């Protein structure tokens, strides 16, 4: 891309206070460099180091949210930006709040008839008998997850009953509830979605093949051992079906601008199951949205600009409701 693009003074929000700060710093650095390369007047802004009110004081016209996790993609920041009247990338307050809660996300999807693994929600202070009941109901292997974390933080795969207590304790460190989820054996897929409402469209599917199937924090962001296949080697009908489910899942939560939808494709029958949705996906050198965009000829810089163009406000009243 060449030539200056006038979108006013743009803030790239990155860093923040969540457990995903390190990843967010990498995402934000990439986005900031790309926007500047496109001729945009972009500036980095770390909410952990500056008061969010400074966004208005410093005259930002719109912001690109490259924050991950709590205080960045959970609706709290989006609410503050609505109050400040500064358009922002990604989904609005409600969609972000729901998407950040894996348990609530699954409940919404089920209400729309969308496929997701069976699950139970447990209090972080649940006793051994209650945790064992979840294992008995859902079987082994069992996935345990802190429902408000991401980047594989606060997650445990329990393959033996004797490991149940330690896996639960690990997840309970991060949240006040723990999501117990049926394990789906199969292929791990992810589908980026761009756009809003009827204009929402799925990008090519990425298949993730991590060593021993362990797509943990190290393999996700730093290791070169993980294989990514994009477009995923699936037949056309299945590809179309999974992409359609991704868009339905995105719209069911009221997402906007962009997001990434994660799936497991069950090995025994090729049935797709929705795992979660990321309202502010990673934009690092190992990230999956840029990888998928490249498969249709959209380079990183162009992707960043398209996302920025979609910056919006969702709760601002129209002029007829303005208090006189």
Active site residues: 20, 151, 221, 260, 262, 276, 278, 282
DSSP secondary-structure letter at 157? E
CA–CA separation, 245 and 247 (whole Å)? 5
Cis ω before 145 (30° cut-off from 0) = no
Closest CA to 82 of 109, 56, 45: 56
Q: How many helices (H) and strands (E) does the chain have?
A: 11, 13
CA–CA separation, 3 and 16 (whole Å)? 31
CA–CA separation, 130 and 123 (whole Å)? 9
40: three-class secondary structure by DSSP? coil
Q: Would you say the C-alpha torsion 252, 192, 148, 255 has a positive or negative sign?
A: negative
Cis ω before 141 (30° cut-off from 0) = yes
Q: Is the separation of the CB atoms in 316 and 78 below 8 Å?
A: no
Cβ within 8 Å of residue 204, ≥6 positions away: 230, 231, 232, 292, 295, 296
CA–CA separation, 130 and 127 (whole Å)? 5
Q: Is the separation of the CB atoms in 92 and 76 below 8 Å?
A: no
Give, for 309, the enclosing helix (H) or strand (E).
helix 300-309
Q: Is the separation of the CB atoms in 264 and 187 below 8 Å?
A: yes
CA–CA separation, 185 and 273 (whole Å)? 11
CB atoms within 10 A of CB 310: 18
């Amino acid at each position: 891309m060449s030539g200056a693009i006038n979108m006013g003074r743009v803030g790239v929000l990155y860093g923040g206070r969540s457990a995903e700060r390190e990843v967010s710093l990498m995402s934000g650095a990439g986005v900031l460099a790309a926007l500047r390369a496109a001729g945009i007047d972009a500036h980095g802004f770390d909410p952990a180091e500056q008061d969010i009110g400074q966004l208005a004081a410093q005259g930002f016209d719109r912001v690109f949210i490259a924050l991950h996790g709590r205080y960045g993609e959970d609706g709290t920041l989006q609410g503050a930006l609505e109050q400040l009247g500064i358009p922002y990338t990604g989904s609005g307050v409600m969609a972000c709040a729901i998407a950040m809660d894996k348990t609530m996300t699954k409940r919404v999807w089920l209400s729309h008839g969308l496929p997701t693994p069976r699950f139970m929600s447990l209090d972080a202070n649940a006793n051994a008998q209650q945790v064992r009941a979840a294992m008995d109901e859902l079987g082994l292997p069992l996935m345990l997850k802190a429902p408000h974390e991401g980047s594989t933080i606060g997650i445990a795969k329990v393959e033996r009953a004797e490991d149940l207590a330690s896996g639960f304790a690990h997840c309970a460190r991060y949240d006040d509830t723990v999501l117990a989820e049926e394990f789906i054996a199969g292929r791990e897929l992810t589908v980026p979605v761009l756009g809003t409402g009827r204009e929402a469209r799925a990008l090519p599917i990425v298949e993730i093949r991590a060593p021993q199937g362990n797509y943990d924090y190290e393999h996700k962001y730093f290791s070169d051992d993980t294989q990514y296949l994009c477009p995923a080697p699936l037949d056309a009908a299945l590809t179309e079906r999974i992409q359609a489910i991704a868009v339905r899942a995105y719209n069911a939560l009221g997402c906007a601008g962009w997001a990434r939808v994660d799936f497991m494709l069950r090995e025994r029958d090729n049935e797709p199951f929705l795992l979660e949705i990321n309202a502010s996906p990673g934009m690092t050198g190992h990230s999956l949205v840029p990888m998928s965009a490249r498969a249709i000829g959209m380079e990183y810089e162009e992707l960043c600009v398209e996302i920025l163009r979609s910056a919006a406000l969702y709760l601002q009243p129209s002029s007829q409701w303005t208090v006189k």
